[in-house]
Amino acid sequence: MSALELYDLTAHEVHDKLASGETSSKEVTESVLRRIEKVEPSIQSYMLVTADRALEQAEQADARRRAGECIGPLDGVPIALKDLLCTRGLPTTCSSKILENFVPPYDATVVERVSSAGCVALGKTNLDEFAMGSSTENSAFQVTRNPWGLDRVPGGSSGGSGAAVAAGECLVALGSDTGGSIRQPASFCGIVGMKPTYGRVSRYGLVAFASSLDQIGPMTKDVRDCALLLQVISGHDSMDSTSADIDVPDFTAALERDVKGRRAGVVKELMGEGIDADVREAVEQAIGTLEDLGVTCEEVSLPHCRYSLATYYLIAPAEASSNLARYDGVRYGHRTAERVEDIVDMFSKTRGEGFGPEVRLRIMLGTYALSAGYYDAYYVKALKVRTLIKRDCEKAFEHCDVLISPTSPTVAFEVGERADDPLQMKMADLCTMFGNLAGLPGISVPCGFSDGLPVGLQIVGKAFDEETVLRVAYAYEQAAGYHRERPVVGG
């Protein structure tokens, strides 16, 4: 095997090389920028690459280090940001025409935090428009390809971030997850992705999709990097009233703790019908590995889990229809250039031109579910089922420390394959949505391959117990070793 290039390394490996003086942040950043130049024409992860700014930030990180003022483990590490995180002075499009020219006057809290930790921001990554989708095909601008097979989708909606990490176009990335949008692309791209507990990470400056479900989280090459990045972005923020004012533990310290005697519940409903045989097999093997490590694995049932897709597709569009009302051609972004009769005509033409078909569909579904005649029958009912799903999880956690399932029922599908099959498209999040509805932390770690495409193992924990999730994920990853595999892009 040829020696790994700098862009192939993890953030903690780069940190060690920076600390020993073996390399500089500038060299690492240059390596990643060259990699972007080489593979970006075929992958198309990025909406925007800010090379000059990145090199400047890298030089600053190197100067800090020379002066003995290194800020921490991510100082000088290149990061990519999903393009629905507000960045001061830089376009934040949400991969939507309606925000094509939107330049926020402020940074999202997570953007500020990674910058204060010394990270080098490389640019903004592609997504399904407003994070609505599972393949990144709903971007208004470009289709991102999966580094493991260019005819395949990278998953979504954080497909740009997922593909960028997998292809070595950044060392770590941030994504957001409303129904699976970090974990599912992580699974498709063979990387680690974590949705923290609802409230763990501030969403100030995250363009809202469904506010009771959205969380920001890390997408990385291994679990240690995930813990390091989660450490930086976690914690209370007075600018987000839903961020929890509770202590943030030392996540990397949690990695080293023994997993012997931990109890894992294998979710019965997510191991049967609808799950590809190859995926199930990989997860079963992972369960065997966990058992070898001393984790007790037993089947558990989440009886209402099978309603999670239906519940999600009432609650998420309902919230989206309200959150997206602000794009009216007055306060933000695009306004129609057509002749208009009155203000209602202006709204309608602006929104008709600015939003893509999936977003328009969600707004209509959500408005319908919230309308006077249907509110109780649909929206309120969905809230009740959400409570039942939450209770199922609480009950399961009486007997176990983590829940285990595949991250997605299949490996990455072909570009275009599900474009005309909305149900199949939505099934990609079958295993992840209960975690959002219950507000729980969940991670996806690589657990094998099917026909050369990565499979992901999902580990979900109790609210605010990211430590146990990371600890089990780390023990598994170290024993299994799939995180060391890298795709040969275009090969």
Interacting residues toward ligand GLN by CB under 6 A = 131-134, 157, 177-181, 209, 316, 429
Rounded distance between C-alpha atoms, residue 108 and residue 203, angstroms: 7
**Radius of gyration of the chain measured on its C-alpha atoms:** 21
CA 139 vs. chain centroid, Å, equals 16
Q: How far is the CB of 157 from ligand GLN (least distance, A)?
A: 4
Beta-carbon contacts of residue 234 (< 8 Å; ≥ 6 apart):
196, 200, 201, 248, 251
* Catalytic residue chosen out of the listed positions 157, 176, 187, 234: 157
Element (DSSP H or E) covering residue 265: strand 263-267
Clarify whether 211 is annotated catalytic. no
Q: How far is the CB of 320 from ligand GLN (least distance, A)?
A: 8
CA 478 vs. chain centroid, Å, equals 22
Q: How far is the CB of 313 from ligand GLN (least distance, A)?
A: 8
The smaller minimum CB distance to ligand GLN, of residues 118 and 159, is found at 159
The smaller minimum CB distance to ligand GLN, of residues 316 and 443, is found at 316
The smaller minimum CB distance to ligand GLN, of residues 201 and 480, is found at 201
Clarify whether 181 is annotated catalytic. yes
- Peptide linkage before 157 cis (omega within 30 of 0): yes
Can you read off the two tokens belonging to residue 419? 């474009």
* Catalytic residue chosen out of the listed positions 31, 161, 181, 243: 181
Clarify whether 260 is annotated catalytic. no
Q: How many CB atoms neighbour CB 307 within 10 A?
A: 17
* Catalytic residue chosen out of the listed positions 82, 124, 221, 462: 82
Can you read off the two tokens belonging to residue 390? 């939450």
The smaller minimum CB distance to ligand GLN, of residues 179 and 333, is found at 179
Q: How far is the CB of 317 from ligand GLN (least distance, A)?
A: 8
Of 255, 14, 223, whose CA–CA distance to 118 is shortest? 14
Rounded distance between C-alpha atoms, residue 192 and residue 152, angstroms: 19
The smaller minimum CB distance to ligand GLN, of residues 7 and 355, is found at 355
Within a 13 Å sphere around the CA of 382, how many CA atoms are in the beta-carbon half?
21
Rounded distance between C-alpha atoms, residue 58 and residue 38, angstroms: 20
Q: How far is the CB of 184 from ligand GLN (least distance, A)?
A: 7
In degrees, rounded to 5, the angle at the alpha carbon of residue 188 between the alpha carbons of residues 194 and 216 is: 25
The smaller minimum CB distance to ligand GLN, of residues 24 and 184, is found at 184
- The answer to whether the beta carbons of residues 185 and 412 sit under 8 Å apart is no
Q: How far is the CB of 438 from ligand GLN (least distance, A)?
A: 14
Rounded distance between C-alpha atoms, residue 159 and residue 390, angstroms: 28
Catalytic positions? 82, 157, 181
